[in-house]
Structure 1
C-alpha cells in the first residue's frame, strides 16, 4: 500500500490537501479549454495549437522561475504564482459568461496560466525535499502524484457533468477558481523557505539558468530521465485527439477518455509502497515508459470505447510509476542550491512535453487518419526509449543508492 508517513508533517499535509482539491478544478478546466476550442472551430489542429500557445511560457517561466526559486523565499514565490493561476481561471470564466467566443483570447489566457503553473510547479518540486525527511521523498512524490491523478479522474468527470448544463464552460472555470482557493491557503500557511544561498547570490540572471542546465549535461542519468519523458509525451500523448475520437469514433465519452489515464495512475498510486524499494530505477523507468507507449498505441487501434478506456488506464498506471522515479532520481541527485533550477527543467519537460504532444497529435490528425495519428508514433516511442536506455549504460545500470 501507499506509504503515508509524509502526511505526519503538517506543512506537507496542508500542501497535499491543497493539491488534492485544486487539481480537480485544474483538470476540469483542462478539459473545458480544448472542448470549447473544438466547439468554436471544429478543428483538432486548433486544439493542438493550444499546446503550442502554452509551450513558450512553460519553457521560459519554468526555467527562469526555477532559478528565482534558488534565490528568493520559495514560499513567497509559490504563493504569487498560485495567485496568478487563480486569476486566469476567473478570466476564463468571465470570457465565457460574456460570450466572447474568441479562440485567440482563450489561447492567450492559456499561455498566461501556463507561465504561472510552470513557476508554481518548479517551486513546489524544490519545496517538498525541505518539508519531509530524505528517506520519505519517494513516498511524498508518490502521494502527490496519486492525488494529482485522483484530480485527473474527478476533474474530467466534473467537467463532463457541468459542460452538459447551460453555461457549462463558465461553470467549469468558476469551479476551478473556487477549488483553487484551497491551494492558495496551503501556500499561505507554508513556513518561511529562504533561499539556500541565504540571498548571497543576488537576483538570478541567465547565467544562473545556464548553471542548472550545465549540471544536467554532466550527469547522463539525469539527461536520460528527461529524454525518456520527452519521448513519452511528445510521441505518445493522445489527449489532443480525445475530442475528435469522442465525436467520430465513440459517439461520446469525452469525459471518460480524459479520466482513464489518471484512473489507472490512481489505482497504481494506491499500491505504490513497493516503488521506493526498487533499486534498479533506470531499468524500472525504461520498462514503465515502454508499457505506457505500447498501451497508448493499442488504445488507438480499438474501436470500442471501454476497451480504449481500459488500455488508457493501463498506460496511466505505468505513467505513475515512471513519474515517481523521474522525480525521485532528480531530487536525489541535485543539491539544494540547484534544486529550483533543476525542478524548473523538470517542469518544462513535464508540462511542455504534453503540449508538444498535443501539437504533434493535432497536426497529424489534420493530414492522416485518426488511428495513425494516435498509434504510429507511440510504437516508435517504445522502440526509441528501449534503444536509448540500452545505449546509455550509466542510466541502465543506475541504482538508487549510487545517487549523487
Structure 2
C-alpha cells in the first residue's frame, strides 16, 4: 500500500488514525471476542463520522419511503414510482463516477461539507413542496435527481476518507461498523416511516431527514483536513481522470476481481424481484402481506446480525479468501431459498445470505481501501457506488425475466448455483484474489 513520508501535511491528515493506541487483542475474552469489533470507535475522527451515520441512515430512509408514497398518492400509478427511481439512478451513477475523481483532487472534508449541505437543502425543499401541497411529480423527480447527484458526489469521498481515519488492520472492523448501521437503517427506517406517516404526515417526515443531516454536517466540520496525498501537481476532475481510474482498475487484478465478485453475487443472485410472486403463490398460506414483509426484511436483518458479531471475522488477514468464501456462501443460501417451500425456512436462508453479504461487503470494501493508493481511492469508491447501486437493479431485470420463463423457484435456485459456480471458477482461474492479504 502506498504511504507518503512524514511531512506536516501527511501527519495532519493521518493524525486521527494515530490518535489512539491499538488495543491489546488479548484483552478481548469470552463473548467479547465474538461481538462487534469496535476498535475503530476508539479513534475520535472515525467515531464522529460513524456517529453521524447512525442518525442519517434512518433519516435517509424516511425520505426514501416518503418520495414514492407521495408520487403514488398524486398519480395512483406504480409506473410513475418506477420512473422516479430511474430519475434518481441516472444522476447518481454519473456523479458517483465524477465525484470519485473530484474526491482525489480536493480536500475530502470540504467536499463532504459541500455535498452534505446540498443533500440537506434538497431535503428542506422536499419538505417545502409537501407542506405547500404543490403536488407536482415533475418537481419531485427533479428534487430526487438533484439529491441523488449530491449523494453520488458524497459517497466516494466519505468512503475513501475512512482509510485516512483508521489504520489498515482496522479497515474490516470500520467497514463492518458502517455497514451494520446502514443495514439497520434499511430495516428501522421504513418501519418508522410507515408508523409515522399516518400520525405526522409526509411534510414532517421530510423535515426529520433534514434535521438528521444537520448532525452529519456537525460531524464533518469536526473532521481533520483531508487534502490530496500526491506530489502537489494541480489536477482537474475531468473525463481523463475518470478514465484513469478505470485503467487503474484494469491494471490491478485484485481490485478488478473485487468488483467482479460483487457483480456475480448481485446480478446473478439477488432475487428480490421475485419476492412479490413468491409471497402471492408459494407463501400465501402464511399471509401474503406477512410473507412479503419477511422476505424483504430477511436479508438486511441477517446483515445486521453479521455486523453485531463481526468480531468473528474482522481480524482475518486473508481478505481475498474471505470474499471468495462469503460470495460462495451467499450463492448457496440463495439456492437454498429457491428450493424452500416453507416460509420460515426461506427466511432463514435469506438471513444467512444477509450474513454472507455483510462479510463480503466488509472485505471487498477493505480491499478497495488498502490495495489502492490514496490518490485513487476516490475513483475506486465512485465505481464501487455504481456497482452497488446498479447490480441489484440489473438483477431485478434478469430474475424477473427468468422467473417468467422458468418459474420463480427455478430462477432463484439457478441464480444461486450460478453464483457459486462463477465465483469458484473465477477464484480458480485467477489466483490474485486468493493470494491477497492485508
Q: In structure 1, how many angstroms separate the alpha carbons of the residues matched to 2:141 and 2:280?
A: 22
Question: Relative to structure 1, is the Cα distance of residues 168 and 300 closer, same or farther in structure 2, using a 3 angstrom cutoff?
Answer: farther
The yes-or-no answer on 1:317 pairing with 2:355 is yes
Q: In structure 2, how many angstroms separate the alpha carbons of the residues matched to 1:189 and 1:382?
A: 44
Contact 2:270 2:392 in 1 (8 A): yes
The yes-or-no answer on 1:330 pairing with 2:352 is no
Q: Of residues 156, 161, 179 in structure 1, which corresponds to 2:212?
A: 179
User: How many angstroms does 1:198 deviate by?
Assistant: 6.8
Map 1:346-385 to 2 at 5 A: 346-360=384-398, 376-385=414-423
Q: Of residues 370, 373, 378 in structure 2, which corresponds to 1:340?
A: 378
Secondary structure of 2:288's aligned partner: coil
Q: In structure 1, how many angstroms separate the alpha carbons of the residues matched to 2:411 and 2:84?
A: 17
Q: In structure 1, how many angstroms separate the alpha carbons of the residues matched to 2:404 and 2:356?
A: 29
Contact 1:261 1:316 in 2 (8 A): yes
Higher RCO structure (Cα 8 Å, ≥6 apart): 1
Q: Which residue in the other structure is 2:154 paired with?
A: 120
How high is the TM-score relative to the length of structure 2? 0.79
Secondary structure of 1:217's aligned partner: helix
Q: Which residue in the other structure is 2:24 paired with?
A: none
Q: Of residues 216, 219, 227 in structure 2, which corresponds to 1:194?
A: 227
Map 1:200-219 to 2 at 5 A: 200-219=233-252
Q: Of residues 268, 289, 293 in structure 1, which corresponds to 2:327?
A: 289
Question: Relative to structure 1, is the Cα distance of residues 72 and 11 closer, same or farther in structure 2, using a 3 angstrom cutoff?
Answer: same
Contact 1:48 1:362 in 2 (8 A): no
Q: In structure 2, how many angstroms separate the alpha carbons of the residues matched to 1:245 and 1:125?
A: 36
Q: Which residue in the other structure is 2:54 paired with?
A: 20
Higher-Rg structure is 2
Secondary structure of 2:233's aligned partner: coil
Map 1:5-404 to 2 at 5 A: 5-33=39-67, 40=75, 43=78, 49-97=83-131, 105-163=139-197, 165=198, 168-197=201-230, 200-239=233-272, 249=284, 250-253=287-290, 256-299=294-337, 302=340, 305-360=343-398, 376-395=414-433, 397-401=434-438
Q: In structure 2, how many angstroms separate the alpha carbons of the residues matched to 1:157 and 1:292?
A: 26
Contact 1:129 1:137 in 2 (8 A): yes
Q: In structure 2, how many angstroms separate the alpha carbons of the residues matched to 1:54 and 1:359?
A: 18
Query: RMSD of the TM alignment (CA)?
Result: 3.2
Q: In structure 2, how many angstroms separate the alpha carbons of the residues matched to 1:175 and 1:376?
A: 42
Question: Relative to structure 1, is the Cα distance of residues 256 and 387 closer, same or farther in structure 2, using a 3 angstrom cutoff?
Answer: same
Contact 2:175 2:362 in 1 (8 A): yes
Q: In structure 2, how many angstroms separate the alpha carbons of the residues matched to 1:379 and 1:100?
A: 49
Give the total of aligned pairs: 398
- C-alpha deviations, 1:356-389, integer Å up to 9, x for none? 3345456667888655665554443333233223
Q: In structure 1, how many angstroms separate the alpha carbons of the residues matched to 2:55 and 2:203?
A: 19
Contact 1:77 1:120 in 2 (8 A): yes
User: How many angstroms does 1:269 deviate by?
Assistant: 1.1
Unpaired runs of 5+ residues, structure 2, are 1-34
Q: In structure 2, how many angstroms separate the alpha carbons of the residues matched to 1:49 and 1:372?
A: 29
Contact 1:52 1:359 in 2 (8 A): no
User: How many angstroms does 1:286 deviate by?
Assistant: 2.0
Contact 2:101 2:237 in 1 (8 A): yes
- C-alpha deviations, 1:27-59, integer Å up to 9, x for none? 34334445666675554x665555543333232
